[in-house]
Amino acid sequence: MDQTKQETKQMSHKGLVAIVTGGSSGIGKATCQYLLNRGYRVAIADVNKENNGLFQSELKKNEQVDSGAFLVLDVDVSNESQVKDMIESTVVNFGQLDVLVNNAAISDPYLASLEEMKFEDWNRVMSVNLNSLFLCSKYAIPHLKQTKGTIINIASTRALMSEPNSEAYSTSKGGVLAFTHSLANSIGPRYGIRVNAISPGWIDTTGGSTLRDIDHSQHLVGRVGTPDDISHTIEYLIGAQFVTGQNIVVDGGMTKKMIYHE
C-alpha cells in the first residue's frame, strides 16, 4: 500500500469490516455499537445465543444503524469449524475483512485455587482466552492480507499483576501479550498486517450502580473505566499505521498508583 492509500485509509474508516468476538455483551457489545455508529460494518460473534438475539433486536430498532451493516453469528471461538464458518460468513456477507478484534474471554466461575481447580476448567480457560486467538487469526489472515488489515487482541492488566486464585485467567492473558508481539513480527513484514493488544484495567459493564467512592479513587483519573474507554482505543489502533506489536494499558493509571492500607 502506497503512502497516499495509507493516508486515505487513516482519514476514513467508513465501510471497513470488523469482526468482534465476544461481541454481544460487555466490552465487545460496546465496541460493536461504537464501530457501527462510525460507519463500520461489523460481524458480531458470540457463543451466547440469548445475548445475540437481544443485541440483534436492539440494533434493528436503532434507526441510526443500517440493517445491512451488521451480522450476528453464534460462535464458540474455541471450536475450529465454527471459527472457519465465522470468517467465511463475514467475507461472503461483506466482501472483505479489515479488522479482527479478539475479545472473547472467560474467567468466572474458573477463579479457584490451583489445588481445587479441575484440569478441564484450566483447559477451557486456555481454549477460549488463548487458543481462540490462534484459530481466529489463522483463518482471518488470508483475508486481512488483501486489505492490509489489523488484529487487535484484548488482554488484561491481569497479565501484568494479579490477585489470588487467578492463575488460569492471568496465564491466558499473559499468553495473549506474547502471541501479539510474536504474530506482529511474523505477518507484519510479510503481509502488512499490524497486530496489537489492549490491556483493560477495571472496566465496569454494569452501569456503575454498585461502584463506591473508594473504587473510583484507586484510579489516577478519578473513576473506574467504561467499555467505551476500550472502544476508543480499538478505533485508535485501527488507524494507527505506525503502531504494531504493542500492548496499550487502558486502566486509568490504576497500575501506576501505589495503594497503602492505613
Which domains are present in the chain? 13-256 (3.40.50.720)
pLDDT tens, N- to C-terminus, the chain (262 residues): 454 444 444 445 779 999 999 999 999 999 999 999 999 999 999 999 999 999 999 999 998 899 999 999 999 999 999 999 999 999 999 999 999 999 999 986 667 789 999 999 999 999 999 999 999 999 999 999 999 999 999 999 999 998 899 999 999 999 999 999 999 999 999 999 999 999 999 899 888 778 898 889 888 888 988 999 999 999 999 999 999 999 999 998 889 888 776 5
Three-state secondary-structure class, residue 34 = helix
Distance separating alpha carbons of residues 174 and 111, to the nearest angstrom: 16
Strands 247-250 and 41-46, how do they pair?
Answer: unpaired
Altogether, the residues listed in the chain come to a count of: 262
pTM: 0.92
Q: How far is CA 194 from CA 39, 80, 146, 148, in A?
A: 21, 23, 13, 8
Element (H, E) at 79: none
Task: List active site positions.
Answer: 169
Q: How far apart are CA 138 and CA 185, in angstroms?
A: 15
Of 2, 9, 52, the C-alpha closest to 149 is 9
Compute the distance between CA of residue 36 and CA of residue 41 in angstroms, rounded to an integer.
6
